[in-house]
Chains A and B, each alone.
Chain A
Amino acid sequence: MTVVIQLLVLLPLLGFAVTLLIPQKQEKLIARNTVLFIILHFLTLCVLGFFWVKNGFEVINLKEITLFKSVGYEFYIDFYFDEASFVYLFLGAFICFLISQYSRYYMHREEGYKRFFSTFLFFYSGLTIVVSAGNLETLFIGWEILGISSFLLIAFYRNRYLPVKNAVKVFSVYRIGDVGIILAMWLSHHLWHENISFIKLNNYEIVHEHLAQHSWIGVGISLLLLLSAMAKSAIFPFSSWLPRAMEGPTPSSAVFYGSLSVHIGAFLLLRTYHFWEHQVSMRVVVIIFGLLTAILATLSARVQSNIKSQIAYSSLAQIGLIFIEIALGLEILALVHIAGNAFLRTYQLLISPSTVTYKIREQFFHFQPREKTIEDSWPKRLEYTLYILSLKEWNLDNMQYKYLWNPAKQLGSKLSFLSKPFFIGLAVLIFLSGLVLHFFEDKVPVNVIRNIPLLFAAIGLLFVLKSFTERKNVFLSWWLIVFNHCWIALAVSYNEHFGFTHHIWYLGGVLVAGFFGFWILMRLKKKERKVSLDQFYGYSYEYKRYNIAFLLAGLVLAGFPISPTFIGEDLVFSHIHEDQFLLAFCVSLSLIIDGLALIRIYSRVFLGPFIKTYDGIVKRNA
């Protein structure tokens, strides 16, 4: 059984790795490799499914390996399978198999054929990890993979403006979801004093016992998980990203935003259902958001005049209903609903170009001038108002800017002094004195020590805000991020138990990636002279290797689960005390903005319309 589970998780990753090794020109080999690994994965899944059925649908749990262990902290990989996992796994395997087969021909001769299939497999790996994860930490690994592969797929046409812009937009929303999980991990660590596995979460007595003492933590965890689920499933108020994610080739839109990716939020709720099912308030909140989404998305779907947005919103309306079903405890119904919705929308998206032929023909033979709709019977004022609101997608897109990104930018622009040498010197000085102070901790009054972490984390936050809003200097922006990690490390080191090894885990990757990324930027600057954040440069058009290398460096720096920094991040959080809410907030906000700033640097330098126009000018709205 252990081997089967290991295979199940590793096969897609292995497939991904093999794809990377195949030369770009070998279209057939790339596609065959993808299909082969998905089939192998499917067969493994069938074996596991067989055991599961044979054992009377008993939940399967496997504690895999411990990646890091120290006093009071253990980071381990854990797998867990129940009916929700199996529905998602089978659904994923089936749809991904079909879509990979589909794309094999569809993507022929497309620039980035290999990139498509490798990202596809990477996504598939992430999906597998999420749905078979046995604890939040494992789930988070998959969760991050989903995020970054979504970014890459939306920005598949990386030398056009809109795909890149929308990919960044979607990534930003995902990032909010990520922080929901990070904070939920932080809180649950303090609730259970261990990295709790889902199998324990399902144990009513344990949960009940802990929650009885810390009911607010329970509510907090639930709400944070809900936040993540909402971001990932485009639930109100995050809905507007979904139609904008339809920038990649149609099959990838179909498989990710029509079906698999967008239902992952629902999965998170299903997975943690036993944790929050006794919290009436949480269930009410889920129902409210589900209902709101269902209604608003339906209205938006009704006014969409382009086919992909229409399908996106009608899919979303069903996801709203799915959330309600989950909150009502109708798990099986929800699972059937998820499968049905996934199939229906995938197929609808795939045949969407045929709509022209079909509908024009239908119109030719059955035309009625202006068909009456239900809205025609409403009072005009209501009809018109709702129409405009639906057309404007309830201003959700603008609101994100208005309340989230613009304030951050405004704040950042007030921080321009940070780039002055004086302040940089001052910051270094404070940092060094912070280090020195650390050794004489005993001599400092406790009150002061208590607040020092917050102070340092706040400075770090300012740094990263500045980095995020820096308009020109890419090097400054880059180093500020690296520096931010150092501030966080310093801040946390004032909390007990965060020792030297912890620092290595956390900062090791950061520093290596920091210097590596800097080196690439320098090389690029030497060759092209113009490397800045003031516009999109699109250097991936010519510098394909730099592009990949820099992306990797950025991912490490963002705490992506390919380097020890990822575990370090979790470590950091486990050392923030449950009463240091502000500190947790500062650090998590830093991490969100960190990721955003990195993606911003990467996009501006390597993605978007290429500044050299010898192959033609690419219009921004093309």
Chain B
Amino acid sequence: MIGNKQGFDLDHLVHELKHYLPSQAPLKDFIHHNTLHAFQGDPFHTALVKANRIFGYKTYLNFGDYQQMFHDNKISREVLEKVIRTKKGEENMTYWLSRLFEARELNYTAPRIGSLRECWKEKYKFDLDVRVHPFLFRLLASYLDQGVSVWNFPGNSKDFMKSLRDLEKKSLIGLLKSPRAKKLLLTPKLQIEKLLEILVGDESLFETYTFDQQFAHPGWSGIVSVIEDNPGTLLDKRSLSLVDLIKIELLMEIDALDTHFGEIWAPLGSKVKVKPPQLFSPVRMTKNDELKEIWQEAYEWSYYDQVICALKNQEKNKSVPAERQFQALFCIDDRECSIRRYIEQTVPGCETFSTAGHFNVEFYYQPEHGKFFTKVCPAPLTPKFLVQEKENKSKKKRDFHFNRRSHSLVTGWFLTHTIGLWSGIRLALSIFKPQMNAATSSSSLHMDPAASLTIENKDPNHTVNGLQVGFTVTEMTDRVEGLLKSIGLVTDFAPIVYAIGHGSTSVNNTHYAGYDCGACSGRPGSVNARTACFMANHPEVRKGLAERGIQIPDSTQFVGALHDTSRDEITYFDTAVLHESNKALHLKNVQAIEIALDKNAKERSRRFESISSNADAKKVHRKVKTRSVSLFEPRPELNHATNALTIVGRRSFTRQIFLDRRAFLNSFDYRVDPEGKYLLGILHAVAPVCGGINLEYYFSRVDNHNLGAGTKLPHNVMGLLGVANGTDGDLRTGLPQQMIEVHDPVRLLVIVEHFPEIVLRTIKTNPQTYNWFEKNWVKLVACNPETNEFFEFRDGKFLPYETVQDYTETVSDPEKLIMQHEDNLPVFYLKQNSL
């Protein structure tokens, strides 16, 4: 840990810094992750208190918020009492209850971070950050810039320090002002220690000082750290390191101080009378922390309890349609939760499943004419395969408003006189008749449905850049087998099985990557869906599958598709391969699904202020589509907001329960996987992916200033890498306010339909996965599928869970209820008019 007395260790410091800095990738690769990943070694609540004391993050809601929710019945008294009973004992009930309701929000005491560097202001009356930050950010942005500026950073093909030295040496004015700083910059092997010696003096303060300095602008430091570790995240490569950043910043600080005071100022260390606390020394828990913990748990369990009650008390309806009209595989994404419900409602003879949206095929994808490869599978995987798009005939739209030449003097003059007036008309059109155009980020652009894909590999030597082009038959069989077995679809195949990936369409949305499929590394799932279906339709693969015990009738065909979650549109791929009989069936299905999509759009619209949900579903759907391409609409969809659950189990387990688009659903049949072999894979993905999404929403919601990106309305794009407020701000990490404002900050509850002992054994197999559950970053409940008993995972064991609530309402007209409310709805049973 920081502050060991053995002297200054740069490598150790950099390692620690990288650990704690935000690890958010540049915008194009935005992927949800646990914002406080650095604290994941600690149990959830401990970590939250620590993060608050050390970095000043707000990690819970305010007391006032909890108390308000109690009054609004969002936190139930019984659950609250139960939490107190478990944590503090029945005898202390009255004491804690009164404390909970008396508690008032205190102002945060100043966090540890930044206290040392605060001395510049206190002791020197000098505002160092104001002098250094704007130009430092400007330098970084200009060097890293991926294509905003017209005139590139001179020598940006060299590494950062070299370019800076070049600029300093070969220009007439130089970057820095003071002679000493100038000289230091040009020193060939410049040591950080030397700079710190000048600035701070006292070696025992070096680490704290550097932490303070870098956490004064976590956004920029974070992105530098990410780029250093993963240079491939920039298409236009750059080479700079966190150490370079620290160096140049220290130099600029010396420069600013020299310029202001002359070279005679004393190092900071000499003026510090009382040493600042060690950053990571133990943190003291206060009573308020305990109160927050109780409130938060009561808040969470008030919801969890509803869900478990509904699951537990449902009438087991084992009847499955005898004749299946079609089956559809969706992504586990919470946004697919409701469309499945509507499809099942519209077509009683259908069956839906869900699995991670890459459909168990992992590869890099290269669109036609693309100069790069895009990874389309969960972020931690490193695929060995490449799928290329061929014969893409679609044309890319262009827009002169993004053209660099509009910024030049002479061309600009001509443009303003000519096309400038056209911009006025465009402006009016974009407001009164929003349409898809070059500015739109559309899921359909990922792949041209008419193009072909190089999915099958017949010659393993066929490689590009070390990646095998396509999959061999065995490789394909493995993947399809894994896919089908993990979701428990091994018998009773319908004539058509759809694999439906998802993506999103939006405009003016810098966080667009976060709207696409997380399991496809923030890309639409179209290529994966199409690839998986090609494999499953392959005769050789079918043969192989039969050998492995999965008999797919010849009449069954797989069709890939893409669901656009903001527009509620589904595009189907390769329907030409369908048999005659299936073709007719497909048309029928498409019509039915269309109705379901209308209804789904209508349900989603209940949260949209600008759309009246009372209108006819078709009409509402049209408006929802327009919304997705409207420049002025900061919320094309609400993405993962309100997510709170992951349910791993059969569809019959959840089919009659209304979960209000709050659940990630993962199909899984314990009978197909008695040993938990596939379950391991599922949980291994669910914890970091769904848990990551959930926690990013949690932290962005409770501290939108520091852990979220603040309101997106004033955001300014910096070098295509990130966003900042205005022109001089730090990069903003986390989610903007518009994404999280309706989110309820509760942890993810994972419910697994399998025997608790199997679940326990499974999660313990993988320490990383186990950590998520053990330290309570996600909550876990197992349901014994035979006895229908529920078990809560606590302190490393599964303990029986008794629900507080014992009754769940059945709603006969859910549509009406849905349309009348804007807020989260309680869990209820859907009246089964079919089945």
Contact = CB atoms under 8 A, between A and B. Distances in A.
A314 B718 CA distance: 17
B151 A306 contact: no
Nearest to B730: A621
B266 interface: no
A492 interface: no
Contacts of B146: 359-360, 363
A340 B108 CA distance: 51
B27 interface: yes
A519 B521 CA distance: 59
Interface stretch (A39-47, A97-105, A176-184): A97-105
A340 B427 contact: no
A182 to B, nearest CB: 30
B170 A314 contact: no
Q: Which of B105, B170, B723 has the most chain A CB atoms inside 10 A of its CB?
A: B170
B107 A350 contact: no
B170 A102 contact: no
Interface in A334-364: 336-337, 339-341, 343-344, 346-348, 350-364
B148 interface: yes
Contacts of A244: 726-728
A369 B152 CA distance: 11
B714 A250 contact: yes
A160 interface: yes
Interface in B138-184: 138-139, 141-142, 144-154, 156-157, 166-167, 170-175
Interface in A424-451: none
Q: Which of A336, A360, A381, A389 has the most chain B CB atoms inside 10 A of its CB?
A: A360
Given A101-B431, A250-B714, A389-B173, A305 B167 contact: no
B420 A341 contact: yes
Contacts of B717: 306-308, 352-353, 355-356
Interface in A282-314: 294-295, 298, 301-311, 313-314
A613 B108 contact: yes
Given A306-B727, A616-B703, A360 B28 contact: yes
Contacts of B148: 304-307, 310, 355, 359
Contacts of B154: 383-384, 387
Nearest to B422: A343
B551 interface: no
A225 to B, nearest CB: 25
A246 interface: yes
A344 B406 contact: yes
Contact of B711 (A110, A344, A357, A373): A110
A268 to B, nearest CB: 20
Interface string B116-151: 000000000000010001010011011011111111
Given A302-B151, A371-B152, A102 B716 contact: no
Interface size class of B (residues with CB under 8 A): 35 or more
B58 A318 contact: no
Nearest to B415: A344
B197 to A, nearest CB: 27
A109 interface: yes
A359 B725 contact: no
A545 interface: no
Contacts of A110: 711, 713
Interface size class of A (residues with CB under 8 A): 35 or more
B349 interface: no
Contact of A616 (B139, B632, B704): B704
A602 interface: no
B292 to A, nearest CB: 13
A525 interface: no
A508 interface: no
A162 B729 contact: yes
Contacts of A302: 149-151, 407-408
Interface string B407-446: 1110011011111111110111011100000111100010
Contacts of B156: 370
A317 B632 CA distance: 28
Given A302-B150, A350-B427, A384 B28 contact: no
B16 interface: no
B24 to A, nearest CB: 14
Interface in A391-405: 391-392
B157 A370 contact: yes
Contact of B149 (A251, A303, A336, A612): A303
Contacts of A104: 632
B610 interface: yes
Interface in B188-229: 216-217
B427 A343 contact: yes
Contacts of A354: 402, 439-441, 507-509, 631
Q: Which of A294, A308, A621 has the most chain B CB atoms inside 10 A of its CB?
A: A621
A622 B732 CA distance: 7
A618 interface: yes
Contacts of B710: 622
B74 to A, nearest CB: 20
Given A340-B416, A381-B170, A351 B401 contact: yes
B485 interface: no
9 contacts: A94-B424, A157-B711, A166-B728, A318-B413, A340-B418, A340-B419, A358-B439, A362-B147, A616-B704
Q: Please give me the 10 A-B residue pairs with the lowest Cβ-Cβ distance, nearest first.
A: A340-B420, A384-B171, A340-B416, A343-B424, A354-B439, A314-B407, A249-B713, A305-B145, A357-B441, A614-B105
Interface of B: 27-28, 56, 58, 62, 105-108, 111, 129, 133, 135, 138-139, 141-142, 144-154, 156-157, 166-167, 170-175, 216-217, 235-236, 367, 369-372, 396, 399, 401-402, 406-409, 412-413, 415-424, 426-428, 430-432, 438-441, 445, 507-510, 512, 609-610, 630-634, 703-706, 710-720, 723-730, 732, 738, 741
Given A105-B610, A356-B510, A389-B173, 20 more contacts: A102-B631, A105-B630, A106-B633, A109-B738, A157-B714, A162-B725, A302-B151, A306-B717, A318-B416, A347-B426, A350-B427, A352-B717, A353-B715, A354-B631, A363-B146, A363-B147, A365-B396, A366-B371, A367-B371, A615-B58
